[in-house]
Amino acid sequence: MTGEVSASAPEGAAAKVSTRQRDGIPLYIKLASLFREKIRRGKWPTLSQLPTLPVLRDEYGVARETIRQALGVLRSEGLIDSARGRGTFVTAAAERLADPAPTYDPLTLGEQVRIDILSHAPCAQLPELGRDLTGLETPLIHVRKRHHAGAQPYSLVDLWLPQRYFDMLPKGADRTRLYSQLLRDHIGLSGLSGDQFITIIRADIATARLLGVSLSEPVAHVVSRLFDAQGKPVMAHCVQIRSDVFAAERRFGDLATGDPGSWRPHTTPPPETGDKAQA
């Protein structure tokens, strides 16, 4: 979704509304996102010729130089190429945008899943995740990683765990295994449980780049806590998941006599005693 317009509005009108919103994002970046989405959805098919600069200028209501800058972003990504006297074309490399999306499973890593560790950084204070993390031991290690299925990234993870635990883990083990598994197998933490709070947000520039989605595209935002057998938090993480691969499954108890607040969708943050799920 790229703008506050009616579903029946023509595409050009939607684009003009979207690119004129005052949100601090450079106009050419917004246009590049719109153009990338056209390629991903097949509106600009592989090897097809793009509309000319005058046509794009009239359609989106912006200056020619802004159009050039936006196309330059796609050119730097290898999605388009220009030939003097012939025009600009979508490259064969753009086919990767249309690869079938993997099914996201937050509990296990399939054989096709690859973990890309982006950074490990010391952290002295508890992260601000909107959840009670009282009891989580500090100092912490902040891990940022990205999960891929084949060549396609599908989730961006920010994770915090006590540095004491992190130092006990085999070096490089987090490139092939989940931290919940590592805590169980190398720290001796058993009976782990957790909870999750899921919302839908819009991808910012960094998230869009790392997940290969359009700017402001909806992504699932999952904040999780992992607890030991005594109920003490031992890890927290925030995951952003591509909306085209996200799925959530929940199981309910007795709906007739149980507390509906534990299963009914919320429009405001649920109480701390919300649903429990393995992290």
3.30.70.20, 1.10.1760.20, 2.60.120.650, 1.10.10.10: CATH of 11-94: 1.10.10.10
Q: How far apart are CA 261 and CA 264, in angstroms?
A: 6
Helices (H) and strands (E) in the chain, counts: 7, 8
Distances (CA, A) of 133 to 125, 156, 182: 11, 21, 21
Alpha carbon of residue 3 to chain centroid:
19
The residue among 117, 115, 116, 134 whose CA lies nearest residue 126 is 134
Tell if the pTM clears 0.85, that is, is over it: no
DSSP H/E element including 90: strand 87-90
| Segments making up each domain of the chain, as ranges | 11-94, 113-247
Q: pLDDT of the chain along its 279 residues, tens only?
A: 333 222 333 344 445 545 555 545 678 877 887 888 888 778 899 899 999 999 999 988 899 999 999 898 888 888 899 888 889 999 988 776 654 444 433 345 555 678 999 999 999 999 999 999 999 999 999 999 999 887 788 999 999 999 999 999 999 989 888 888 888 888 888 788 889 999 999 999 999 999 988 888 899 999 999 999 889 999 999 999 998 888 777 666 655 555 655 555 555 554 444 444 333
Q: Which CATH superfamily is domain 113-247 in?
A: Chorismate lyase-like (3.40.1410.10)
